Each structure stands twice: as structure tokens, then as C-alpha cells.
Amino acid sequence: MTKPEFIKSKIYKWEDLSRAIAIWKFKDNKIVFTNGCFDILHKGHVTYLSQAADLGDILIVGLNSDESVKKLHKGANRPIQDQDSRALILASLHHVSAVILFDEDTPAELIKNIQPDVLVKGGDWKPEQIVGYDTVKARGGDVVSIEFVPGFSTTAIEQKIKGSGN
């Protein structure tokens, strides 16, 4: 398998991810789940995702589809990159095991189906506010909020780019 094929193989449809999860769980791998838009990958994202990956053996990233990002009202120009580009970029990170797109407003159903051992979100969320908290805690799992890297956000980068054009 070539490296580009390997990267693409980490972008899953639900049926295939379901099988992979069964194998990972059979091997007693600790599964970590996080989600987000990851519109313009930056230092904050990479730091966050690597810290999330350190919490287990398998890191699954739920990626908001283009439709889902628009529902979040992040701005008229968002997402900046389409879902296929964002998925490929995330899958290229060696510590990301799987990427799965979701169209819903929240990843609640995805979390119920995955049943991760650890659920992770960024520092703007208290653990009990994180979608899926009850699902993960009911199984004895952990819910973790990871600190942001100050000064890094897609919105700040977007504003900086717009400012440089004037």
C-alpha cells in the first residue's frame, strides 16, 4: 500500500469503522474519540490531537461534514476547506487512527455507536458539558477537556488573512 493509499484508508464509512472498532476492542485497545471542524489545521489542532492520542491507543476523529459546519454558524465562508480536504489532512497525521464524517448537529449518535473509552474536547468545554458525557461515563469511561494553545484558532487565522489583503 502506498502512503497516499494508507492515508485514505484511515477515512472511514460507518460500516467499515464499526468493523475496525470491533477489532480494536477485541485487542483491548483503549479508544479515544474527539470531534470538530478542523477547518484550517494549525498548531493548536496538532497539539490538541496529539495530547488526545496520548490518552489511549486509538484516536478516532469525528469530522463535521460541510453541511454540519454550516449549521454551527461559524461564518458565511465556513468551512473554508471542503470535508474531503479536511478529512485527508487529518488522516495524514500519524497519531490519528481513523476519521469519520458526520452530518448531525452533534456527534451524540456517533459516540453512542463508538462507545469510546475516553471522550475529549477542547478547553472551552467543561467535561460535563461535552456531548456524549453521559454515554461515556455510564460505561466507566473518562471525559477530558484539553487546554487550548493560546493564540491559535481558525477564526483568528481567517481574520489575519483577511486583514493582510487590505
Residues 88-105 pLDDT 10s: 999 999 999 999 999 999
Cα of first residue to Cα of last residue in the chain, in angstroms, is 46
Write down the pLDDT at residue 166: 47
Query: What CA–CA distance (Å, rounded) separates 26 from 137?
Result: 21
Full set of structural domains in the chain with CATH: 3-164 (3.40.50.620)
Residues 117-165 pLDDT 10s: 999 999 888 899 999 999 999 999 999 999 887 666 666 676 777 775 4
Q: What is the pTM of this model?
A: 0.91
118-122 sheet: strands from edge to edge:
11-12, 98-102, 58-64, 31-36, 118-122, 142-146
> Do strands 118-122 and 142-146 pair parallel, antiparallel, or not at all (unpaired)?
parallel
User: Could you tell me which of 5, 50, 9, 56 has the C-alpha nearest to residue 31?
Assistant: 56
- Among 67-76, 77-86, 145-154, the minimum mean pLDDT is found in 145-154
